[in-house]
């Protein structure tokens, strides 16, 4: 693959000294690409604009931030899901700070992501992990909007996934059965799901919610050798927990 610095160097060298100049310019440009990590023209534009290029882990949280903000408002479920992704990746303090910065960067929606995602598409396992994390994020508030779905479909295309593959993954994370949702969930259902009482303190409710999220996270279940059906059930359980916590928080009026 010809990277930006390599192309510029080869072109400038050819203009000055024909083929020998092009060869020398390409070598110098390649060194510049490696030093500045210029892997696409989007990277060049970011560098010219003073923005650093994204590492793979930062790219993930930029995507999650954009999804969280796509419907106009980031809710607590989105924040909790982002934190859960950090825990699943076993990030140290420095990596978590980078992830938080990337998440906030993603909310602005100003990054050009096609080049990054096409490059990531050469790593199938990493690409699949990113798409799965994206679906977990969009279900964090208990529903999927058309903008969120359109973003994931576009990103999946850039990652090299077919429409059929994307649809199969969407079905894996969508509700496989009519379960407790925002339309059917009662306040008592929500309390029962989190194992708390109507008199429990907000801090106690938050701890119960986070403990259950950690226990039922799809990645944790998948890591224990569970079947695809068990992973789907864990995803559905996580969605129910998000809905329950949102209802209790609204009823009790705490953040």
Percent of the chain at pLDDT > 70 equals 75
Q: Are residues 60 and 134 in the same domain?
A: yes
- The CATH number given to whatever domain includes residue 215 is 1.10.287.110
Residue 169 and residue 80 share a domain: yes
Q: How far is CA 200 from the centre of its chain?
A: 33
Residue 11 lies in a domain: yes
Q: What is the CATH number of the domain that holds 67?
A: 1.10.3680
Which of 173, 206, 230 finishes a domain? Answer: 173
Q: 50-65 in b/e burial notation, b at 16+ Cβ within 10 A? A: eeebbeebbbbbbbbb
Nearest to 244 by CA among 192, 190, 182, 200: 190
Domain span including residue 89: 56-173
pLDDT of 214: 86
238 and 148 inside one domain = no
Confidence (pLDDT) at 234 = 80
Following DSSP, what letter does each residue of 109-131 receive, concatenated? T----HHHHHHHTTSHHHHHHHH
Number of domains the chain is built from: 3
Question: Of the segments 50-64, 96-110, 239-253, which one has the largest average pLDDT value?
Answer: 96-110
pLDDT attached to residue 178: 42
Q: What is the mean pLDDT of residues 157-177?
A: 82
Confirm if 41 and 68 have CB atoms less than 8 A apart: no
pLDDT at 235: 82
Indicate whether 97 and 152 sit together in one domain: yes
> pLDDT at residue 68 above 90?
yes
H-helix or E-strand containing 56? Answer: helix 56-69
**Average pLDDT, integer, range 53-63:** 86
104 pLDDT band, cuts 50/70/90, is very high
Domain end, chosen from 173, 197, 213, is at 173
What is the rounded average pLDDT of the residues 179-186? 60
- Considering the domain architecture, whether residues 100 and 137 belong to the same structural domain is answered as yes
CB atoms within 10 A of CB 171: 11
Long-range contacts, stretch 146-154, CB < 8 angstroms, 24+ apart: 147/70, 147/71, 148/67, 148/70, 148/71, 151/66, 151/67, 151/70, 152/67
In a domain, 164, yes or no: yes
Question: Could you tell me if 108 and 66 lie in one domain?
Answer: yes
User: Is 179 inside any structural domain?
Assistant: no
Question: Residue 87: inside a domain, yes or no?
Answer: yes
Question: Average of pLDDT values for 179-202?
Answer: 79
Distance separating alpha carbons of residues 149 and 163, to the nearest angstrom: 12
- E-strand ranges in the chain read none
Residues 30 and 128 in one domain: no
Cα–Cα distance, 115 to 159 (Å, whole number): 10
Residue 172 has pLDDT above 90, yes or no: no
- Inside any domain, residue 109: yes
131 is a domain residue: yes
Q: Are residues 23 and 89 in the same domain?
A: no
Question: Tell me: the pLDDT tens digits for 15-48?
Answer: 675 666 556 655 655 565 455 555 555 555 555 4
Residue 58 and residue 82 in contact, taking contact as beta carbons nearer than 8 Å: no
How far is Cα 10 from Cα 20, in angstroms, rounded to an integer?
Answer: 10
Work out the average pLDDT over 157-165: 93
Pair (61, 148) in one structural domain = yes
pLDDT higher than 70, residue 158: yes
In a domain, 46, yes or no: no
pLDDT band at residue 11 using 50, 70 and 90 as cut-offs: low
Mean pLDDT over 1-24 rounds to 57
pLDDT in tens, 195-246: 888 889 999 999 999 998 888 888 777 777 777 767 777 888 888 888 888 8
Q: What is the mean pLDDT of the chain?
A: 79
Residues 222 and 160 placed together within one structural domain of the fold? no
Say whether both 74 and 167 belong to one domain: yes
Which residue among 173, 195, 228 closes a domain? Answer: 173
Q: Which two tokens stand for residue 193?
A: 């799901």
Would you place residue 176 in the very low, low, confident or very high pLDDT band (cuts 50, 70, 90)?
very low
For residues 119 and 153, membership in a common domain is answered with: yes
d(CA 239, CA 152): 18
């Amino acid at each position: 693959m010809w990277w930006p610095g390599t192309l510029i160097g080869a072109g400038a060298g050819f203009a000055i000294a024909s083929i020998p100049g092009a060869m020398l310019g390409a070598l110098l440009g390649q060194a510049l690409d490696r030093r500045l990590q210029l892997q696409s023209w989007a990277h060049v534009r970011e560098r010219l604009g003073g923005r650093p290029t994204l590492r793979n882990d930062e790219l993930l949280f930029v995507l999650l931030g954009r999804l969280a903000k796509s419907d106009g408002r980031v809710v607590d479920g989105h924040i909790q899901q982002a934190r859960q992704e950090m825990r699943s990746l076993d990030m140290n303090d420095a990596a978590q700070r980078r992830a938080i910065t990337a998440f906030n960067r993603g909310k602005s929606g100003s990054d050009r992501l096609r080049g990054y995602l096409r490059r990531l598409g050469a790593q199938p396992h990493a690409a699949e992990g990113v798409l799965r994390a994206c679906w977990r994020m969009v279900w964090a508030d208990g529903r999927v909007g058309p903008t969120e779905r359109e973003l994931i479909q576009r990103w999946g295309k850039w990652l090299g996934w077919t429409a059929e593959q994307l649809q199969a993954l969407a079905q894996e994370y969508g509700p496989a059965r009519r379960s407790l949702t925002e339309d059917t969930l009662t306040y008592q259902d929500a309390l029962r799901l989190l194992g708390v009482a109507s008199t429990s303190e907000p801090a106690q409710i938050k701890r119960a919610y986070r403990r259950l999220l950690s226990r039922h996270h799809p990645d944790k279940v998948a890591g224990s050798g569970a079947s695809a059906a068990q992973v789907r059930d864990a995803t559905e359980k996580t969605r129910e927990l998000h809905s329950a916590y949102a209802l209790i928080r609204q009823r009790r009026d705490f953040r």
